[in-house]
Amino acid sequence: MALIVMKFGGTSVANVERIKNVARHVKREVDAGNRVAVVVSAMSGATNQLVSWVREASLLHDAREYDAVVASGEQVTAGILAICLQSIGVSARSWQGWQIPILTDNAHGAARIKDIDGRKLLARLNDGEVAVVTGFQGIEPERQRLATLGRGGSDTSAVALAIALKADLCDIYTDVDGIYTTDPRIVPKARRLSKISYEEMLEMASLGSKVLQTRSVELAMVYKMRTRVLSSFTAPDAMQATSPETWGEIGTIVCSEDEIVEQQVVSGIAYAKDEAKVTLLKIEDKPGVAASVFGPLAEANVNVDMIVQNLSSDGKHTDMTFTVQEAELPRALEVLKGVQKEIGYFDVKSSADVVKVSVIGVGMRSHAGVAAMMFKALAAKGINILAITTSEIKISVLIDANYSELAVRTLHSLYGLDKE
Amino acid sequence: MALIVMKFGGTSVANVERIKNVARHVKREVDAGNRVAVVVSAMSGATNQLVSWVREASLLHDAREYDAVVASGEQVTAGILAICLQSIGVSARSWQGWQIPILTDNAHGAARIKDIDGRKLLARLNDGEVAVVTGFQGIEPERQRLATLGRGGSDTSAVALAIALKADLCDIYTDVDGIYTTDPRIVPKARRLSKISYEEMLEMASLGSKVLQTRSVELAMVYKMRTRVLSSFTAPDAMQATSPETWGEIGTIVCSEDEIVEQQVVSGIAYAKDEAKVTLLKIEDKPGVAASVFGPLAEANVNVDMIVQNLSSDGKHTDMTFTVQEAELPRALEVLKGVQKEIGYFDVKSSADVVKVSVIGVGMRSHAGVAAMMFKALAAKGINILAITTSEIKISVLIDANYSELAVRTLHSLYGLDKE
C-alpha cells in the first residue's frame, strides 16, 4: 500500500457539499489501505474576501498581518474536512502549518517553504489517521508568525509535504482531468497526456497554463516527486483507489523524462494571450543601447520576454521590438518615456493584440528541424512571425492575436498530436 | 500613565469601517501615553457562519475541529485591526492565543483559561507597541490544539489578560454605554450606574443581562480587576483618554463593594423572560420524591431554578412547581414523561408565559424589610407571585408575563432608582 498526498484546490472545496465529496475521495484511498495526508486550499472566494478586507483596511499593509488574516481561510477548510471525514468513519485531524510545523522564510505574502518536520504527521499516518493539512501557509520560525506562500501556493505545500513524508505520489485534484496537448476549448482533438516530464510541465506552467503552480513543479523536479493531476469532480466511487499499478490510468503524471517510454518529439502546444509588444522606432545603433533600454525597465520590475532588433538600414538607426506582460505595459511605457532623451529613440509604439504560441517537447533536444517545420507551416497559412525565442525544449513565436487559434490548430496537427 | 486592556465585541468590529473606528479609540489611549492591549471578537456574523458550516458538515462533530474552524474568526479581526492601527501611525501587531500563549484546559468548545504568560506581550507593550489579541480562544498545551471558550468568551479573555498583565483597568467596549438600574426600553427613568459591585454584576449577568459574560465577572471579582463597560459607538474624539482621575465619568465601573461610597440598598431591577414553569399535579408527598424528580432532570442537563412545593391537602399528595430555561422545556417534559411511573404524579402542566423579576443590591445584607416591601408593592398592583427565590443580595419572584413591565416599573420607583 502507498503513502499518498492528495491536494484539493479552492473550487474542489467551494462549499460544504463539495468538501463532503472530497471526503469520499479520501475515504476511497483509506479503505484501500493507503496512508493519506490531504492538503486543502481555502473555500473558493474566501481568500478574495479576506484580501479585500485587508485592502479596505489599508492599501499599504504589513505583510505579516496580511498573512495572519489570509491564512485563516485554509484553517476553516481543514477543520471542516476533518469533521466530514470523521462523520463517514474515517479517523482524521486537521493540522495548521505551525502545528506540524511547516517552516518558511520571512518573505511574508510570498514565502518559500524551508523545511517540513514530518515526524509528528508520520506517526499519526502510521496509526491510520488521515492528516488534513492547511495548504498555502507555514510559520516563520524566527518570529513565530504565520506566513503564506502566495497565490496558488497550496500546490507547493502539497509537493513539499509529499517530499517530507517520502510519499509515493502527490495527487493534485483540480477542476480538469489532466494535462492536455493543448487547450481543448480551441482544439477539440486535443489529447490528455498520460505522462509529461517535469521540464515540459515547467514550460507549460510558466507559459500561463494554470493547472500547477510553477514553484510546485520545480520542487517536484528537484526531488523527483511523482505528481499527478486529476479531477475532483469525477465521482469518488467511479475511480479506482491509487496504487502503483493503476497510477497511469487516469489524470496526467508529471515525472522524470526517463519514465516516459514513448516520448514524442513535441508534447504540447501552449499559448499565452497576456503578452504585449513594444517597438522603439529609429533607435541609435550603437554599443550599449540595449542596456540603456532594458536597465531602466528591470529597475522598474518590468519583465522583458522576447527581443528582436532589426538590422540597421543606414548604419546609424534601427528599430527594436520586445514583449512584456500586458499588465506591465503601462508601466513599461512610462519608464521608456522618462528615458527617451538618454536612449535617443524617435517614437514608441505598442500593441496588446499579440499572442505567444509555443511548441514544447523534451524530444526536441535530439531532433533537428522542429523549428524549421514550425516556421514553414505557419508561413503556409500566411501567419507572420513577429518575434522568436527558443529554449532547449521550447520554441515560442509571437504572432498577431487574430491568428492564434489557427496557429495552435495547425501546429497541433503538424506534430501529430491530434487524437484519432 | 496606565496599562489598559480594551475589549471590542462583534458588533463593534462588524465591518472594516467599524474596525477603523475601533482603531481611533485605541489611538486616543496610545496618544495619551497609555500602554494598550486590545482584545477583539470575530466580526459580527462571522462566528455564526463558521458554526453553520461545521453543523452542515456534521451535527455530531469533534469539538477540537469545531474549535480549529471557529477560532479563525478572531484571527481575521485581529489582523485587520493591526493593519488599521498601523495605517494611522500606531505601532501594533496581532497575537493569536497560541502565540502568547493563552493556555486553556481541554474542554474544547467551552474551555477555561488556565494561565496566560504575559511576558512577551509586556515586553512589547513597554516598547510602545499595541498588542491586538484574539479573544475567545487559547491553546490546550497537552495536544497543542486550539480551544475556544464558548459564546461570549472574549469578555473572559479580556479580563484574564488584564489580570495577567496586571493592568490598571479592563475596558469592555460594547453597544451600550453602561449598566443601568434596569432596562431603559421598559423604564425610561432608568439611570446609568457609575459603579456596580462584582457581586451585583454577577447576579445581573446570570439573570440574562447580556452585557458581560458571567465567567468574566467571576474572574474580575476573584482578582479584583476593575472592569468598565462603555460604548464603542461614542465618537472616539468625543471621549477623554482613560486615566485614573476620569475613569468614573463615562460607562459603568464594576469594582469592589468598598469602592462604592454611596451604596444604595437596591442597585437594580432585572428581569428574565426565558423562564418556563412546570407543575407536577398530585405528586406523592413522601420522602425522596424531590430526588426522583430532579435527579433525572440533572442527568439530562436541565437546569432547574426556582422550586415551590405546596402543602399537602390530604397528607398524601401535593403539587410541585419549578422553573427551567424556556429552551430546555421540551427536554424537561420528555424526561418527566419517561419517569412518570417511578415518580407517580397525576399530570404535568407547563407554561412559558412567565417572567422572573429580581431586585438586586448588596445593601440588602444590612437592610431588613426589602423583601416585605417588594411583596406588598406587587400585591397592591394585583400581581400574583408564583414562586420566590432569594440570595443574600437578590430577591427574585416569578410572575405572569403580562405583568412584567408593570412589576419592573413599580419596583424601580419603590426603591428610589428613578432618575430625577
pLDDT at A305: 87
Q: Which residues pair with A192 in a beta bridge?
A: A180
- CA–CA gap between residue A6 and residue A95 (Å, rounded): 14
DSSP state of B240: P
How many beta-carbon pairs under 8 angstroms link A with B? 111
CB-CB under 8 Å, B94 with A83 = no
Spans of all domains in chain B: 3-258, 264-420
pLDDT at B49: 96
Q: Which of A140-149, A297-306, B116-125 has the lowest mean pLDDT?
A: A297-306
Is the distance from CB of B34 to CB of B4 less than 8 angstroms?
yes
Mean pLDDT estimate for chain A: 92
pLDDT at B123: 96
Taking CB atoms and an 8 Å cutoff, what residues of chain B touch A16?
53, 56-57
pLDDT in tens, A383-392: 999 989 888 8
CB-CB under 8 Å, B64 with A80 = no
pLDDT in tens, A307-320: 888 777 777 888 88
The pLDDT of residue B210 is above 80: no
**How many other CB atoms sit within 10 Å of the CB of residue B288?**
9
Which of A24, A50, A80 should one mutate to test binding to chain B, selecting the residue with the greatest count of B CBs within 10 A? A80
pLDDT in tens, B4-40: 999 999 999 999 999 999 999 999 999 999 999 999 9
Which of A59, A76, A91 should one mutate to test binding to chain B, selecting the residue with the greatest count of B CBs within 10 A? A76
In three-state secondary structure terms, B94 is strand
Second CATH level (architecture) for the domain A3-257:
3-Layer(aba) Sandwich (3.40)
pLDDT at B361: 93
Closest chain B CA to residue A133 = B68
- CA–CA gap between residue B75 and residue B351 (Å, rounded): 43
Mean pLDDT estimate for chain B: 92
Reduced 3-state DSSP string for B107-122 = CCCCCCEEEECCHHHH
pLDDT at B209: 67
CB of A82 within 8 Å of a chain B CB? The answer is yes
pLDDT, mean of residues A232-240:
90
User: Is the N-terminal amide bond of B296 cis, ω within 30° of 0?
Assistant: no
pLDDT, mean of residues B220-231:
96
Nearest to A254 by CA among A225, A277, A275: A225
pLDDT in tens, B354-383: 999 999 999 888 888 899 999 999 999 999
The pLDDT of residue A206 is above 90: no
Which CATH class for the B264-420 domain? alpha beta
The pLDDT of residue B289 is above 90: no
CB-CB under 8 Å, B19 with A83 = no
Is the distance from CB of B283 to CB of B319 less than 8 angstroms?
yes
A78: pLDDT confidence band, cut at 50, 70 and 90?
very high
pLDDT, mean of residues A66-72:
97
- CA–CA gap between residue A38 and residue A25 (Å, rounded): 10
Is the distance from CB of A207 to CB of A358 less than 8 angstroms?
yes
Residue among B62, B83, B145 whose CB faces A58 most closely: B83
How far is the first Cα of chain B from the last one, in angstroms, to the nearest whole number?
36
Is the distance from CB of A188 to CB of A199 less than 8 angstroms?
no
- Give φ, ψ of A104 to 5 degrees: -125, 170
Reduced 3-state DSSP string for chain A = CCEEEEEECHHHHCCHHHHHHHHHHHHHHHHCCCEEEEEECCCCCHHHHHHHHHHHHCCCCCHHHHHHHHCHHHHHHHHHHHHHHHHCCCCEEEECHHHCCEEECCCCCCCCEEEECCHHHHHHHHCCCEEEEECCEEEECCCCEEEECCCCHHHHHHHHHHHHCCCCEEEEEECCCCCECCCCCCCCCCCECCEEEHHHHHHHHHCCCCCCCHHHHHHHHHHCCCEEEEECCCCHHHCCCCCCCCHHHCCEEEECHHHCCCCCCCCEEEEECCEEEEEEEEEECCCCHHHHHHHHHHHCCCCEEEEEECCCCCCCEEEEEEEEEHHHHHHHHHHHHHCHHHHCCCEEEEECCEEEEEEECHHHHHCCCHHHHHHHHHHHCCCCCCEEEEECCEEEEEEEHHHHHHHHHHHHHHCCCCCC
% of chain A beyond a pLDDT of 70: 99
Give the largest CA-CA distance in chain B: 79
B139 Cα distance to chain centroid:
23
CB-CB under 8 Å, A75 with B76 = no
**More confidently predicted of B116 and A367:** B116
pLDDT in tens, A320-375: 899 999 989 999 999 999 999 888 899 999 999 999 999 999 988 888 889 999 99
The pLDDT of residue A16 is above 90: yes
Closest chain B CA to residue A84 = B57
Amino acid at B228: R
pLDDT at A310: 76
pLDDT at B287: 78
CB of B57 within 8 Å of a chain A CB? The answer is yes
CB-CB under 8 Å, A72 with B83 = no
DSSP strand pairing (A268-272 vs A394-400): unpaired
Taking CB atoms and an 8 Å cutoff, what residues of chain A touch B99?
144-145
B90: pLDDT confidence band, cut at 50, 70 and 90?
very high
% of chain B beyond a pLDDT of 70: 99
3-state helix vs strand vs coil in chain B, percent to 5? 40, 25, 35
- Give φ, ψ of A215 to 5 degrees: -60, -35
CB of B66 within 8 Å of a chain A CB? The answer is yes
CB-CB under 8 Å, A56 with B83 = no
pLDDT at A311: 73
Amino acid at A404: S
pLDDT at B87: 97
The pLDDT of residue A152 is above 70: yes
Sheet holding B102-104, edge to edge: B113-116, B102-104, B137-140, B145-148
**More confidently predicted of A223 and A261:** A223
For chain B, give the number of residues.
Answer: 420
Alpha helices in B32-139 (DSSP H): 46-57, 63-70, 72-87, 119-126
Domains B3-258 and B264-420 share a fold: no
Residue among A53, A66, A84 whose CB faces B57 most closely: A84
Q: Which three cell numbers stand for residue B293?
A: 424528580
- CA–CA gap between residue B9 and residue B350 (Å, rounded): 36
CB-CB under 8 Å, B96 with A16 = no
Q: Which residues pair with B174 in a beta bridge?
A: B231
Q: Which of A341-345, B98-102, B309-313, B365-369 has the lowest mean pLDDT?
A: B309-313
pLDDT in tens, A45-63: 999 999 999 999 999 999 9
pLDDT at B224: 96
Which CATH class for the B3-258 domain? alpha beta
pLDDT at A290: 85
pLDDT at B145: 97
Q: Which three cell numbers stand for residue B11?
A: 458588533
A181: pLDDT confidence band, cut at 50, 70 and 90?
very high
Minimal CA separation from B109 to chain A, in Å: 14
pLDDT, mean of residues B321-350:
92
**More confidently predicted of B260 and B168:** B168
pLDDT at B133: 98
pLDDT, mean of residues B91-108:
96
Minimal CA separation from B147 to chain A, in Å: 13
Is the distance from CB of A96 to CB of A134 less than 8 angstroms?
yes
The pLDDT of residue B202 is above 70: yes
CB-CB under 8 Å, A56 with B99 = no
CB-CB under 8 Å, B82 with A68 = yes
Query: pTM (2 decimals)?
Result: 0.87
DSSP state of B398: E
pLDDT in tens, B34-70: 999 999 999 999 999 999 999 999 999 999 999 999 9
pLDDT at A343: 87
Minimal CA separation from A78 to chain B, in Å: 8
